[in-house]
Chain A
Amino acid sequence: MKVLACLLLFVSGVACAAEADYALARAALIDELELYARQAHGRDDIRIDGPALAAMARVKRHKLVPASERRFAYRNRPLPIGYGQTISQPYIVALMTELIEPDGDDVVLEVGTGSGYQAAVLAELVKHVYSIEIIAALAIRAEQDLRELGYQNITTRLGDGYYGWEEHGPFDAIVVTAAATHVPPPLIAQLKPGGRMVIPVGSRFMTQQLLLLEKTDKGEVITRQIAPVRFVPLTGEH
C-alpha cells in the first residue's frame, strides 16, 4: 500500500514537473514571438502583437502533437502530425490569427482541422469555431484532444470542406488550411460582408505566402497576398 502511494506520488510528481516544463517552454515561445513582433515594424500586415499571442500563451500545444514530437511542441517550427500533415509553425499561426482580426462575437469556420491547434487558438478569442477535416483519423483525434482540453466552443466534423458548413454560416472569418489550387467559391459565398478569409499557401513545411481575402460591405472581394516576412527583392532604392 505504502509502495503504491509512493508510486502514485512519484508519478503525479513527474507529471506535474512535466507540465511545468511545458508551461515554461510555452512562455519562452511567446517571448520569442513577441521579439519577432517588435521587429516587424513598418508593416501593418505582419504584426502579431495583438490578442493572438495572448491566446497562444493559453493553448497547450504539446497536447495536440503526437507523443514523439512533444519535446519540440514549443519550438517555433512546423511539426509532422502523421498522415502527411503538419501542425503549423507558431509564428504563422499567430500571423494568421491576427489577420482575421478576431472578435468575441465572431463565428469562425476552419477548413482543415489538422491537429486542432489553430481551432484552439481561435476558440480562445471568438464565440464559436466550426472546423472540418477531410482525413478521418485526424478528425477523430482532434475532436478527442480538443474535448480533453476542455474547449466547449469548437464543433468539428469529418467531411469535404469545399462547400463550407452552410447551416452555421455565414461566418465572420474563415481559415482554410487545406491545400487547393483555387479559392472555393462556396466558401466565399459563406463569408459575411466585412469578413476575412485567410489561406496559407505553400508546402507543408514552408509557408510561401498568406492569402487574405476580404469581402467588403458591398460584397466585393479583394485579396491581399502577404509574405510572412519583410523581404524586399531588390537591393538599393527602388
Chain B
Amino acid sequence: MRRLLPATLLVSAGAIGYELLLMRTLSIVQWHHFAYMIISLALLGYGASGTFIALFRHRLEARFGAAFAASALLFSITMLVCFALGQRLPFNALEIVWDPQQLAYLSLIYLVFFVPFFFAALCIGLALTCRRAEISRIYFFDLFGAGLGAVFVIAAMFAVTVQNALLLLLALPLTASALMALRSSARVPLIAAQLAWLALIFAGVPHRHLDLQVSEYKGLSQALQVLDSRVIGVSSSPLGLLTVVESPTVAIRHAPGLSFNTRHIPPDQLGVFTDGDSLSAITRFDGELDSLAYLADVTAALPYALLGEPDVLVLGAGGGNDVLLGLFHGANSIDAVELNPQMTELVEKTYAEFAGFLYDDPRVTVYTKEARGFVAQTDSQYDLIHIGLLDSVSAAGAGVHSLNESYIYTVEAIREYLEHTAPGGVLAITRWLKLPPRDSLKLVATAIAALRSMGVSDPGQQLAVIRSWNTSTVLVKDGALTADDVDAIREFAHSRSFDTAWVPGIGASDANRFNILDQAYLYDGTVALLSEQANEFVERYKFYVAPATDNRPYYFHFFKWATLPEVIALRKVGGAALIEWGYLILIATLVQAAIAGLVLIVLPLWRVERDWPAGTTSRMGSYFLLLGFAFLFVEMAFIQKFILFLSHPLYAVAVVLSAFLIFAGLGSAGSACLARRLEARGRSPIVAVAGGIALLSVLYVTLLPLLFKRLIGYGDLTRIVISVVMIAPLAFSMGMPFPLGLKHVARTAPAFIPWAWGINGFASVMSAVLATLLAIEFGFTFVVLFALLLYGIAAKILTSSGYSSLSV
C-alpha cells in the first residue's frame, strides 16, 4: 500500500498528461476536430481495461504487483511508440469525404492511441479490484494524480517542446513501475526491462522519431513547398506552436479582403503559422507609411473612413497587421490585445527590426490577455474596437473535451464591446466570407440581437455591412449612422469595388454590383434579420445562424440536420464544402464510441459467467454508467462557465480541471468517513451527497453569472483563488458517489468491480461528446440540470440496492 498509492498517482498523472499532450500534438499535425475525435475514442482504453481485468481477474489478482508494474511499464513504452507511430499512419482527414479507405486508417489511429490508455487504466483498475479495502484512498490518489498531472503538463508545455514534455511524462509511469516491481514476484525481469527502456531513451535512439509530422495539406507544409522558403523560428506553448517562415523568392503576400482595384502590393512579410495553419503575417515596416498603402484597400479599413485619429482597441493583434492598419490611418492611440505572449514576443523582440519596432511606437500599448477578458476588465472607452479575422483559441487546444466555443462572438460579448465604445464610436468585425454566407450572417444576427437587448429599436440605423469576394466587414456604431457616415461608407466601398450588403437607406440594386453572387444573400439575409420576419428567416435558412450566447457559445456551429441529405447528395457536383464537418465529426465520434462500447464492454459482460447476485449487472451497471455521465457533464459545463470568468482558456482549464479532480479526490478520500457518520444518524449517504450536489449546482447556475460580473474586475490570482474556493465544495461532493458505490459492490459483488470501472470509463467517453452536443442544442445550464437528474436516479438505485457502509 505504501507504494501502491504513489504509483497510482504517478500513472494517473501520466495518463491525463498524455491525453493533453496528444490533444496538442494532434491539433498541430492534423486538425483540431480530428484530434478531438481521436482522443475521445482512444480513451475507450479505460472501458476496455475493465473488461480485460474482469476476464482475467484471478490470474491478475494472484500476481497483482507484477501485473501493475508490467502494465505501467507498457504504458511508458507505448506512450512513446504510439506517439511516433500514430503520426506516421497515412491518414488524410481531408480525403474522408472522397475515400472510404481513410476510415480504415482512422480506425488504425484509434487503435494505436488506444493502447497506452488501456495500459494506464489497467493499472488503476487493477488497484481498485485487487485492493478493495482501500478503494476510497486509491480513488483519491487517482484523481489527485490526475489533477497534478494536468497542471504539470500544461506548465511543462510552456517550458519545453511537446516532444520533450513527452519524455518527461513517460518517466512518471516508469517510476510507478519501478515502485511496484521492487517487491513483486517477477522483480528481476521487470527491473531489467525498466532499465533497458531507460537506457534506450537516454541513448537517444527514439528521439529522431519524435519529430512532428505535420500534414502536407496544412498551410505550413504548403508554404514550405514553395521555392526557397524556410523555417526561421519556432516557439512552443500550450497556446499554440508558432512557426515563422521566410519566403524570399516567392513573397508571402497575405492580404485578406484586398480590393482587386488596388494598385498596391503588400510588402515583404514573414509568415507566422499557429499549429501549422492560421497564417498571421508580420509585415515589414521601415517607418514609411507609404509602403503600407495596400492597407487602405482592405475591407477591414472601413471604420477608418468614418473616424479621424481614433483611439483604437485591436483584439487579437497576431502579427501586428491590424496595428499597422491603425497607424496607417493616423490612429491617436492603439491598445493591442494578444493572448499568446510568444506571438507578441515575435513582433516586439525577435523580429522587432523587421516589424519596424512597431510595438515600441509611443501610440501603441500591448496587452497579453484574452480578448473578452480584457474588455470586461477595462474602464477605457474607444473610438474603434477592431476585431479582424480572429478565431478564438478554445479550451480544446488545451486538451479538454470541448469544441467550437467562442466567447468573442456572443450576444453578451458584442454588448460589452459596445459598452466600451465612446459615443459615436464604432465596433468593426471582419470575417472570412463563405458562400452561402454563414458566419457573416450569424454575426449580423448577433449584432442585431445585442443592439435590441440594449434597447435600440431600429438596429438597422446603426449597422453597416460590406463584402469583398472573400471577406466581410460588419460595422456597428454606438448611435445612428449619420448621412455623412453613409456617404463615406458608400464611397469607400464603391471606389474599392466592395459590395455594400447593408447601410441605412440601401436599395436592392446597390447590393450586388461588383462581386456578383447569383443572389444578394448577405443583403437579403440582413434585410430579413432586421425585419419582423427574422425568426422565420432563421428557421428557413439552411445553416444555423441564430446568435450565440454565453450559455450556448457555439458561434462556429452552423449545422442543421434538415440540410444534411441535400448537401450529402451534392457532394459529387462540388458541394462538399457545404457540409459542416465539425458537427458531423462529433456525431460520428458518439456513434463510434457507442459501438465500441457495445463491443468492448456490453457484449463481453453479457456473455461472461456472472459471479455475483442477480440484478447487480443492471442496477450497479446503470449506477456507474449514470455517474460517468453526470460527473463529466457537470465538470465540463463548469469548466466552460469558468473560462469566461478566468478569461484565459488555458488557466481556466488548468485551474478548473485540476481543482475539480483534486477536490473530488479529497471527497473520495473522505467518503468512507462521511458515510459512517451519516449512517450513524440514520441518513442515507448517497442521498445526502446527491442532494448536496444538486443544491450547490442549482445555486451556482443561478448565482454564478451575477457573481462573475461583480468579481471580474479583480486580478488573475484573486480570480483563480475565488474559482478554486467555489469549485471545492461542489467537486468534493462529486467525488463521493463513485467510491460509495464501488465499496457497496466490493462488499456484495467483488467480481463486478472491474466491470464497474470499465462501464464508468466508457460512460466518460460518451459523456464528453454528449455534453458538447447537448450544450450546442440546449446550453450549459441544461447540461447541468440534466446531470442532476442523473445523480438523482443514481442515488435512488444505490439506496434501493440496500447500501450500507456499516458492514464494511
Partner pick for B572 among A36, A185, A204, CB 8 A cutoff: A36
Q: Which of B134-183 contact A (CB under 8 A)?
A: none
Docked-complex contact A183 and B256, CB < 8 angstroms? no
* B13-21, B449-457, B516-524, B594-602 - interface stretch: B516-524
Docked-complex contact A208 and B434, CB < 8 angstroms? yes
- Give the distance to chain B from A162, nearest Cβ to Cβ, in Å: 7
Docked-complex contact A231 and B98, CB < 8 angstroms? no
Docked-complex contact A223 and B515, CB < 8 angstroms? yes
Tell me the bound Cα distance from A126 to B321 in angstroms. Answer: 42
Docked-complex contact B518 and A45, CB < 8 angstroms? yes
| Nearest chain B residue, comparing its CB with the CB of A161 | B250
Say yes or no: A223-B260 contact (C-beta < 8 A), given A205-B576, A209-B435, A229-B573.
Answer: yes
Say yes or no: A233-B436 contact (C-beta < 8 A), given A43-B518, A91-B574, A222-B514.
Answer: yes
Tell me the bound Cα distance from A92 to B573 in angstroms. Answer: 8
Please name all residues of chain B whose beta carbon is closer than 8 Å to the beta carbon of A179 when the two chains form the complex.
Answer: 222
Tell me the bound Cα distance from A72 to B570 in angstroms. Answer: 20
Which of A180, A183, A233 has most chain B Cβ within 10 Å? A233
Instruction: Scan B499-515; emit 1 where CB is below 8 A from any A CB, else 0.
Output: 00000000000000111
- Give the distance to chain A from B647, nearest Cβ to Cβ, in Å: 30
Q: Which of A210-238 contact B (CB under 8 A)?
A: 211, 213, 221-229, 231-236, 238
| Nearest chain A residue, comparing its CB with the CB of B221 | A84
| Nearest chain B residue, comparing its CB with the CB of A197 | B260
| Nearest chain A residue, comparing its CB with the CB of B525 | A233
Please name all residues of chain B whose beta carbon is closer than 8 Å to the beta carbon of A229 when the two chains form the complex.
Answer: 570, 573-575, 578
- Give the distance to chain B from A195, nearest Cβ to Cβ, in Å: 14
Please name all residues of chain B whose beta carbon is closer than 8 Å to the beta carbon of A52 when the two chains form the complex.
Answer: none
Please name all residues of chain B whose beta carbon is closer than 8 Å to the beta carbon of A91 when the two chains form the complex.
Answer: 572-574
- Let me know if A2 is at the binding interface, CB within 8 A: no
Docked-complex contact A223 and B469, CB < 8 angstroms? yes
Docked-complex contact A205 and B517, CB < 8 angstroms? no
Instruction: Scan B566-591; emit 1 where CB is below 8 A from any A CB, else 0.
Output: 11001011111110000000000000
- Give the distance to chain A from B396, nearest Cβ to Cβ, in Å: 20
Docked-complex contact A226 and B542, CB < 8 angstroms? no
Tell me the bound Cα distance from A229 to B571 in angstroms. Answer: 9
Partner pick for B265 among A158, A185, A221, CB 8 A cutoff: A185
Say yes or no: A206-B94 contact (C-beta < 8 A), given A91-B572, A231-B570, A235-B540.
Answer: yes
- Give the distance to chain B from A201, nearest Cβ to Cβ, in Å: 7
Partner pick for A182 among B94, B260, B515, CB 8 A cutoff: B260
Partner pick for B577 among A36, A188, A202, CB 8 A cutoff: A202
- Give the distance to chain A from B322, nearest Cβ to Cβ, in Å: 15
- Let me know if B698 is at the binding interface, CB within 8 A: no
Please name all residues of chain A whose beta carbon is closer than 8 Å to the beta carbon of B435 when the two chains form the complex.
Answer: 208-209, 225, 227
Instruction: Scan A63-79; emit 1 where CB is below 8 A from any B CB, else 0.
Output: 00000000000001110
Docked-complex contact B262 and A83, CB < 8 angstroms? no
- Let me know if A136 is at the binding interface, CB within 8 A: yes
Please name all residues of chain A whose beta carbon is closer than 8 Å to the beta carbon of B99 when the two chains form the complex.
Answer: 77
Please name all residues of chain A whose beta carbon is closer than 8 Å to the beta carbon of B516 when the two chains form the complex.
Answer: 222-225
Partner pick for A162 among B95, B251, B541, B572, CB 8 A cutoff: B251
- Let me know if B258 is at the binding interface, CB within 8 A: yes
Tell me the bound Cα distance from A232 to B437 in angstroms. Answer: 11
Which of B258, B562, B574 has most chain A Cβ within 10 Å? B574
* Total number of B residues with any Cβ neighbor in A under 8 Å: 60
Docked-complex contact B577 and A208, CB < 8 angstroms? yes
Docked-complex contact A181 and B256, CB < 8 angstroms? yes
Partner pick for A205 among B97, B227, B260, B519, CB 8 A cutoff: B97
Docked-complex contact A135 and B227, CB < 8 angstroms? yes
Please name all residues of chain B whose beta carbon is closer than 8 Å to the beta carbon of A27 when the two chains form the complex.
Answer: none
Tell me the bound Cα distance from A213 to B514 in angstroms. Answer: 10
Instruction: Scan B467-479; emit 1 where CB is below 8 A from any A CB, else 0.
Output: 0011000000000
| Nearest chain A residue, comparing its CB with the CB of B219 | A179
Docked-complex contact A183 and B540, CB < 8 angstroms? no
- Let me know if B81 is at the binding interface, CB within 8 A: no
- Give the distance to chain A from B698, nearest Cβ to Cβ, in Å: 39
Please name all residues of chain A whose beta carbon is closer than 8 Å to the beta carbon of B419 when the two chains form the complex.
Answer: none
Say yes or no: A228-B574 contact (C-beta < 8 A), given A209-B435, A234-B540.
Answer: yes
- Give the distance to chain A from B391, nearest Cβ to Cβ, in Å: 15
Docked-complex contact A206 and B436, CB < 8 angstroms? no
- Let me know if B497 is at the binding interface, CB within 8 A: yes
Please name all residues of chain B whose beta carbon is closer than 8 Å to the beta carbon of A83 when the two chains form the complex.
Answer: 216, 225
Instruction: Scan B248-272; emit 1 where CB is below 8 A from any A CB, else 0.
Output: 0111011111101111110000000
Partner pick for B518 among A78, A158, A227, CB 8 A cutoff: A227
| Nearest chain B residue, comparing its CB with the CB of A139 | B227
Instruction: Scan B423-445; emit 1 where CB is below 8 A from any A CB, else 0.
Output: 00000000000111100000000
Please name all residues of chain B whose beta carbon is closer than 8 Å to the beta carbon of A209 when the two chains form the complex.
Answer: 435
Which of A182, A184, A188 has most chain B Cβ within 10 Å? A182
Docked-complex contact A160 and B225, CB < 8 angstroms? no
Tell me the bound Cα distance from A40 to B514 in angstroms. Answer: 25
Say yes or no: A183-B524 contact (C-beta < 8 A), given A135-B225, A162-B251, A225-B515.
Answer: no
- Let me know if B92 is at the binding interface, CB within 8 A: yes
Docked-complex contact A204 and B577, CB < 8 angstroms? no
Instruction: Scan A35-71; emit 1 where CB is below 8 A from any B CB, else 0.
Output: 0100110010100000000000000000000000000
Docked-complex contact A84 and B253, CB < 8 angstroms? no
Partner pick for A160 among B98, B250, B261, B262, CB 8 A cutoff: B250
Partner pick for B225 among A84, A95, A225, A236, CB 8 A cutoff: A84
Tell me the bound Cα distance from A95 to B92 in angstroms. Answer: 26
- Let me know if A155 is at the binding interface, CB within 8 A: no
Instruction: Scan B197-234; emit 1 where CB is below 8 A from any A CB, else 0.
Output: 00000000000000000001100011001110000000
Please name all residues of chain B whose beta carbon is closer than 8 Å to the beta carbon of A184 when the two chains form the complex.
Answer: 253, 265
Please name all residues of chain A whose beta carbon is closer than 8 Å to the beta carbon of B217 when the two chains form the complex.
Answer: 84, 203-205
Please name all residues of chain A whose beta carbon is closer than 8 Å to the beta carbon of B261 when the two chains form the complex.
Answer: 221
Tell me the bound Cα distance from A80 to B99 in angstroms. Answer: 11
Please name all residues of chain A whose beta carbon is closer than 8 Å to the beta carbon of B227 when the two chains form the complex.
Answer: 134-136, 158-160
Docked-complex contact B566 and A231, CB < 8 angstroms? yes
- Let me know if B543 is at the binding interface, CB within 8 A: yes
- Let me know if A153 is at the binding interface, CB within 8 A: no
Please name all residues of chain B whose beta carbon is closer than 8 Å to the beta carbon of A208 when the two chains form the complex.
Answer: 434-435, 577
| Nearest chain B residue, comparing its CB with the CB of A160 | B250
Tell me the bound Cα distance from A182 to B258 in angstroms. Answer: 6
- Give the distance to chain A from B34, nearest Cβ to Cβ, in Å: 14
- Give the distance to chain B from A236, nearest Cβ to Cβ, in Å: 6
Docked-complex contact B255 and A182, CB < 8 angstroms? yes
Q: Which of A68-118 contact B (CB under 8 A)?
A: 76-78, 80, 83-85, 89, 91-92, 95
- Give the distance to chain A from B520, nearest Cβ to Cβ, in Å: 11
Partner pick for B94 among A162, A204, A211, A231, CB 8 A cutoff: A204
Partner pick for B436 among A45, A188, A227, CB 8 A cutoff: A227
Please name all residues of chain A whose beta carbon is closer than 8 Å to the beta carbon of B578 when the two chains form the complex.
Answer: 229, 231
Docked-complex contact A225 and B517, CB < 8 angstroms? yes
Please name all residues of chain A whose beta carbon is closer than 8 Å to the beta carbon of B97 when the two chains form the complex.
Answer: 205-206
Tell me the bound Cα distance from A85 to B217 in angstroms. Answer: 7
- Let me know if A207 is at the binding interface, CB within 8 A: yes
- Give the distance to chain B from A230, nearest Cβ to Cβ, in Å: 8
Docked-complex contact A228 and B575, CB < 8 angstroms? yes
Tell me the bound Cα distance from A95 to B521 in angstroms. Answer: 22
Other CB < 8 Å A-B pairs besides A91-B573, A181-B256, A182-B255, 10 of them? A84-B221, A181-B470, A182-B260, A183-B258, A185-B265, A207-B576, A207-B577, A233-B521, A233-B542, A234-B542
Q: Top 9 nearest A-B pairs by Cβ distance?
A: A228-B574, A182-B258, A84-B216, A233-B436, A208-B577, A205-B94, A206-B577, A229-B575, A77-B98
Q: Which residues from chain A sit less than 8 Å from chain B, CB to CB?
A: 36, 39-40, 43, 45, 76-78, 80, 83-85, 89, 91-92, 95, 134-136, 158-160, 162, 179-185, 188, 201-209, 211, 213, 221-229, 231-236, 238
19 contacts between A and B (CB under 8 A): A39-B573, A77-B98, A83-B216, A91-B572, A134-B227, A159-B227, A162-B251, A181-B256, A204-B217, A205-B94, A205-B217, A206-B97, A206-B576, A221-B261, A225-B516, A229-B570, A233-B521, A233-B542, A234-B542
